[in-house]
Amino acid sequence: MKKTEQLYEGKAKKVYATEDPDYCIVEYKDDATAFNGKKKGTIVGKGIVNNRMSNFMFRLLAEKGIPTHYVEELSDRETVVKKVKIVPLEVIIRNKAAGSMAKRLGLTEGQELKCTVLEFSYKCDELDDPLINDSHAIAIGAATEEDIAEIRKLALAVNDEMVKFFESVGVELIDFKLEFGKDSTGKIILADEISPDTCRFWDIKTHEKLDKDRFRRDLGNVEEAYAEMMKRIGLGE
Ligand code: TMP
């Protein structure tokens, strides 16, 4: 399958049309942003890591019965995906307190939670992706009640599989963000990416951060952390 015109350029990826209206090609960039684009930089080789890791995760999840947009990896940075209409929600799953939840609720990073937390943010750059609840999402037409029920079920199933898998490679999955879309038949499927940009990965023993927090917080060794995650999942050099 070949790229035709560029449909969209986001902060970390470009999306191209193909000759087939049901498929797109995504191309992952090395550009890194944080705080809704206020911090900008480059993480050398990130596009390759995020493309290959996302595809690896989507294949693993598909084996477990979770529908995804993944079709075929074309190159280190390019992948064919099913064309979807993105549901404008960032779906965040938290296994331990960290990041914005720790800050907002005065919790310590890494603090145990009494249950898994599922959050929604409304995807809107002008509003800085505000935290909303499911009734807000339905009220503003971002998703229907049925969509929300399906998304919740799929997101929790993804969490179960991802926690197990990352534990097996010595990594604790602290939290992560998912996006879902509707395919041409209206079915909700997992889309976007699963990578160190969109997950918090901590080494199980040392609690070393192996994700984009190293860039967000200027912790150094950013490229090394991305490369270490590739090694852990068996895709590294
Ligand atoms: P947060 O603690 O900053 O709300 O982030 C929660 C998780 O979501 C974390 O794993 C990073 C991921 N995330 C994204 O993928 N995109 C974003 O724009 C933000 C803010 C967080």
Hey, which bits of 61-197 come out as E strands?
70-73, 78-82, 85-86, 89-96, 112-122, 131-132, 171-182, 188-191
Whether 54 and 149 share a structural domain: no
Q: Which atom of ligand 1 is nearest to the CA of 100?
A: 2
- Mean pLDDT calculated for residue range 96-110: 98
162-194 pLDDT, tens digit each: 999 999 999 999 999 999 999 999 999 999 999
| Residue of 61, 58, 31 lying closest to 195 (CA atoms) | 58
**For residue 227, is it within any domain?**
no
Whether 97 and 185 share a structural domain: yes
Please tell me if the CB atom of residue 198 comes closer than 6 angstroms to any atom of ligand 1. Answer: yes
Q: Residue 107 carries which DSSP code?
A: P
**pLDDT above 90 (res 237):** no
Centre of ligand 1 to C-alpha 87, Å, is: 17
Hey, which bits of 74-133 come out as E strands?
78-82, 85-86, 89-96, 112-122, 131-132
Whether 143 and 91 share a structural domain: yes
- Mean pLDDT calculated for residue range 59-70: 98
19-51 pLDDT, tens digit each: 999 999 999 999 999 999 999 999 999 999 999
Angstrom distance (rounded) from CA 150 to CA 143: 11
Q: Quick check: pTM over 0.75?
A: yes
Whether 16 and 127 share a structural domain: no
**What percentage of the chain has pLDDT greater than the value 70?**
100
Residue nearest to atom 20 of ligand 1 (CA): 35
Q: Which atom of ligand 1 is nearest to the CA of 213?
A: 11
Centre of ligand 1 to C-alpha 174, Å, is: 11
CA dihedral 57, 47, 21, 178 (to 10 degrees): 40
**pLDDT above 90 (res 1):** no
Residue nearest to atom 17 of ligand 1 (CA): 198
Structure token digits, residue 186: 């209206």
